[in-house]
Amino acid sequence: MRSALIALILMICSAPAAVAQTLQPILQTHAVEIAKPSRRSVGEALNTITRSGVPQATAFLEQWSKKNIWQRDDGVFLIGVADGDILTLTDVDTQATFSAPKSNYKRLKPNGGVRRLIGTALVQFQLIDPDLSRREAAVASIARRPEAAQLNPLLTSIDAETDPALKVRKIQLANFLSALFAKDPADRIAAINILSTDTSIESRAVLNQILSVKSGVADTQPKGNIAAIHNPMDAPDTYYAALVNEGLAPAKQTAADIKRALEFNIVNGRIAGFSLALMNDPDTRETAYAVLAANGLVPALITDDLRNTALNEHVFYDLYDEPNVDITAVAKTALGSVTSRVATAQVADLTLDALSLASIFFLAAIGLAITFGVMGVINMAHGEFIMMGAYTGYVVQLFVPNYTMSLIIALPLAFAVTFGAGVVMERLVIRRLYHRPLETLLATFGISIALQQIAKNIFGTQARPLTSPDWLAGAWVFNDVIQISHIRIAIFVLALMFLGLIIYILKRTRLGLEVRAVTQNSGMASSMGIDPDRINMMTFGLGSGIAGIAGVAIGLYAKVTSEMGSDYIVQSFMTVVVGGVGNVWGTLAGATMIGFGQKGIEWLNPSNTLAAQTYMILFVILFIQFRPKGIVAQKGRAAGD
């Protein structure tokens, strides 16, 4: 039924097309308005052109808006492009082109207001244009500058829209325009109720526009749609200043004003009969000023009592710009609903951000959980293994331009490179320093500095790109508030995979059994035929290899530099210590706690991420004072010092 009605309307609107398929006669009918247009006079010409149904009208309006219409001496309008003194002209009806001297033509230059009216008229054609890009441009134009005249053409174009995404956008914009401009209040209220579930910024802007107010002051309560009546005693000085600005009360004198007035009225060393020596007393100054005011020498002193009396004699109000009480009431309810939904969405978005950050910390710390948590080795070079993994991914992309394939190659290669580096480091340095934590810390700190310098010598100091594949580009968008990048989702999935892999290795494999045996009692494990040196080497290599894979993942969204490991070493140690040394589940709990804690602090102070990290460190220090063994403390023999 609605489609048939729209078709009938279109037939009626395009009826003149059967009589005249040429545009030039219509233009000549309104030649004066077109040649010298103004916002008041051009409306009739535009209405005639848009109602004509002539196909050439779209191109003419577009070129007129772009100031590409020229009028010949005989009054004919043509589309023209100037090249020096020569014009390349196009007939508005036949599209025939020819060249002519510029001297015989006058260029039409509509001002900004006229071009805006032309654009509004043009939208009616563009909304039903067969070219999708033109329809999208028309919709974007409406979104940028919504006007009442655009509502009916937009509604008419919805049923005929073939592109699903654009149709949804048209419906959304139609709701916005209906809420603002529909003639029937019932239609506006219906549109506003629909907006109560729309959390987009545009929807909130529409509702706020409907609820816009003007503040004022009057002797009596004004008529109209009153938004609020204010109590001036809540901020008397502020409201009195409003009275002064409106010219409804004299300005209240400041201490400086009183001092200047007194100085101006010094007579024979006295002011109003008072000695100058007494002027140091504030009460005496006010008394002297009151005497001067009584004699008409200075304005009357505005005391707090006089100020309050003046305030109570006036009404301070906010008046809605929208006169309809029902519409503002519905809009206020809708805005409250939207605000509540936005708050819920912000909590969900913050939760996703915190989970994403926790997964990054977990990936960065899981290798350290093995080397430090299981082996008890303080490895200050752990961040440099993350850096080595990121640079491995960068080098792979130099030789494999396909980003998906390079990522598939880089992950196992980064593990192999950092596993080998970890084994070399364990064999050459760490094995000689077991049970000597201070020496281990100093040695690994020196190695971290050396690795950073080597990276600078090879790759330079500038950040290197580690580009993600196209399928990791963009973000998963739920609405205007909730969204998370695909890279962070991938890192979250990777973190879960590593959690399962590490637990499987430690609980279900022979290597895991031997690692746990060596960790709990190295001597007993040795007597059972287990080589502690080999297990320590393999464990350290495994932790280093996992750090390399974490480096590839982190490098996909963070900067890849020689110092990137320094950004994660502190968080990694905090994660392991807070979660519980020697416990993979504890590492997960620690990463979750630190990720959520840091995001929570950032939410309270969003302008300073460094401050959030600092506060988080302080919190961790306090936390381990009360729970030194971490969130998930070891039990039984594994908990022994």
Distance CA 641, CA 639 (A): 6
323 is a domain residue: no
- Clarify whether residues 438 and 507 are in a common domain: yes
> Does the structure show a pLDDT above 80 at 632?
no
628 is a domain residue: no
> Whole domain around residue 117: which residue ranges?
2-182
- Clarify whether residues 295 and 354 are in a common domain: no
- Clarify whether residues 271 and 348 are in a common domain: no
- Average of pLDDT values for 233-254? 86
At residue 117, the pLDDT reads 81
> Does the structure show a pLDDT above 70 at 467?
yes
- Average of pLDDT values for 512-534? 78
> Does the structure show a pLDDT above 90 at 48?
no
Distance CA 53, CA 429 (A): 86
170 is a domain residue: yes
Give Cβ neighbours of residue 136 (< 8 Å, ≥ 6 apart). 166
**What share of the chain in percent tops pLDDT 90?**
17
At residue 361, the pLDDT reads 86
- The number of folded domains in the chain is 3
Residue 32, burial from CB neighbour count under 10 angstroms (0-12, 13-18, 19+): exposed
- Clarify whether residues 35 and 96 are in a common domain: yes
| Residue at a domain's end among 182, 205, 229 | 182
With cut-offs at 50, 70 and 90, classify the pLDDT of residue 608: low
E strand or H helix that includes residue 82: strand 77-83
- Clarify whether residues 554 and 459 are in a common domain: yes
Identify the weakest region by mean pLDDT among 10-24, 30-44, 260-274, 551-565. Answer: 10-24
Describe the chain by its helix, strand, coil percentages, rounded to 5: 65, 10, 25
| Residue at a domain's end among 547, 565, 583 | 565
- Clarify whether residues 434 and 350 are in a common domain: yes
Higher pLDDT, 247 or 388: 388
> What does the pLDDT look like over 360-382, one tens digit per residue?
888 888 878 777 766 777 888 88
- Clarify whether residues 292 and 145 are in a common domain: no
- Clarify whether residues 555 and 448 are in a common domain: yes
Distance CA 383, CA 504 (A): 25
277 is a domain residue: yes
321 is a domain residue: no
Distance CA 451, CA 430 (A): 16
- Clarify whether residues 502 and 559 are in a common domain: yes
> What does the pLDDT look like over 557-594, one tens digit per residue?
888 888 888 878 888 888 888 887 667 788 888 888 88
- Clarify whether residues 51 and 145 are in a common domain: yes
- Average of pLDDT values for 311-339? 92
C-beta atoms surrounding 517 within 10 Å: 17
538 is a domain residue: yes
With cut-offs at 50, 70 and 90, classify the pLDDT of residue 450: very high
**What share of the chain in percent tops pLDDT 70?**
94
168 is a domain residue: yes
Q: Kind of pairing, strands 270-271 and 475-477?
A: unpaired
> Does the structure show a pLDDT above 90 at 212?
yes
- Clarify whether residues 170 and 272 are in a common domain: no
Q: What is the mean pLDDT of the chain?
A: 83
Distance CA 91, CA 100 (A): 13
466 is a domain residue: yes
CA distances from 192 to 155, 198, 207, 590 (A): 16, 10, 8, 46
| Residue at a domain's end among 244, 279, 301 | 301
> Does the structure show a pLDDT above 60 at 7?
no
> What does the pLDDT look like over 124-182, one tens digit per residue?
778 887 888 888 888 888 888 888 888 888 888 888 888 999 999 999 999 999 999 99
At residue 414, the pLDDT reads 92
> What does the pLDDT look like over 176-210, one tens digit per residue?
999 999 999 999 999 999 999 888 889 999 999 99
Please, where are the H alpha helices in 53-111? 57-65
> Does the structure show a pLDDT above 70 at 11?
no
Distance CA 385, CA 365 (A): 11
Which amino acid makes up residue 407? L
| Helix 112-126 and helix 42-52, axial crossing angle in degrees, nearest 10 | 20
> What does the pLDDT look like over 56-84, one tens digit per residue?
888 888 888 888 888 888 888 888 888 88
| Helix 255-264 and helix 282-294, axial crossing angle in degrees, nearest 10 | 60
Structure tokens at 71: 């009028």
At residue 1, the pLDDT reads 37
At residue 638, the pLDDT reads 47
At residue 176, the pLDDT reads 93
- Clarify whether residues 405 and 463 are in a common domain: yes
Please, where are the H alpha helices in 465-583? 486-508, 510-520, 522-527, 532-555, 566-579
